[in-house]
Amino acid sequence: MNSIKNSTKFDSVVKELASSLFRKKIKEITTTGDIAGYETPNAFGKTSKKKKKNLEKQTGYNFIDEGVSDSDMKKIKDAIRKEVSDILRDIWIKRNSWGGK
């Protein structure tokens, strides 16, 4: 079996098969074509005040405002900026330590 894989005939057959596959016009490729979508159409919709109060009574929990304040957004942006600069610095250090351009 090893001798077949190392032969030039095997290589040419594989290349020919691969090129014939790429010559075909493929309109769409998907790996999730058979998976159904969300089965709950209102899963991400708004909840009315009446429904919120009813849910709060039933569960004992309170709804909270999920909005992001300006100060929180500034902290998030600063954290992202720091992480990106650290990544770029590490890449620069590694690139220079390899001696490459």
The dihedral region occupied by 62, where left means phi > 0, alpha psi between -120 and 50, and beta the remainder, is beta
For position 22, what pLDDT does the model report?
64
Distance between CA atoms of residues 6 and 76, nearest Å = 54
Residues 52 and 63 sit within 8 Å (Cβ to Cβ): yes
From residue 68, give the alpha-carbon distance in Å to each of 52, 65, 76, 77, 98.
21, 9, 10, 12, 43
Question: Mean pLDDT, consecutive 10-residue segments, the chain of 101 residues?
Answer: 62 74 60 60 74 87 80 91 93 80 54
Please tell me the predicted confidence (pLDDT) of residue 74. Answer: 92
Residue 13's pLDDT is what? 79
What pLDDT is stored for residue 34 in this prediction? Answer: 59
Per-residue confidence (pLDDT) for residue 83, from 0 to 100: 94
